[in-house]
Amino acid sequence: MRPGVKKLIHVMLIGLFGVCVSACDGINERLLGEKVALAAVPPAVKATIELESKGASVKEVVRFTKDGRPVYAAHILANGKEQKTLIDEDGQVVERDFDDDDD
C-alpha cells in the first residue's frame, strides 16, 4: 500500500473515532440521566412516586429523555427489593420494573 493512502486511512479512522465518541457521549447522557432530589421533581411526579413507594425508601430519582419527552425513573427500595418506576412529567406511570439498559 502506498504511504499516502495509508496516511489517508489513518486520518479517516481518527475522524470516525471522534464521531463515535461524540455520539456515545449523547447516548450515555440519555441512558444515565441526571439524578434529581425528590423535592425538585414536578408535583405530579412527586405525588406518583409517593403513591408508588407507599412509605418505602426512595433510593434515587433520575431524570432523562425517552422518545423526546422528559421522564423520571424512581428507584424504590421495599423489603430489600428494588422497584423501578418510570413516570412522565404529568405523573403517569409509563413502566414498572424496567431494565436500566433499555432505550
Over residues 27-40, the pLDDT tens digits come to 444 456 899 999 99
Higher model confidence: residue 58 or residue 18? Answer: 58
What integer is the mean pLDDT of 39-67?
A: 94
**Torsion, CA 8, CA 12, CA 17, CA 20, rounded to 10:** 180
Show me where the domains of the chain are located: 1-32, 33-103
Residue type, 76: I
**Cβ atoms of residues 64 and 32 within 8 Å:** yes
Better pLDDT: 102 or 73: 73
Burial 52-66, CB ≥16 within 10 A → b, else e: bbeeeebeebbbbeb
pLDDT, one tens digit per residue, over 56-97 is 999 999 999 988 899 999 999 988 889 999 999 999 999 998
* pTM score of the predicted model: 0.65
CATH architecture of 33-103: Roll (3.10)
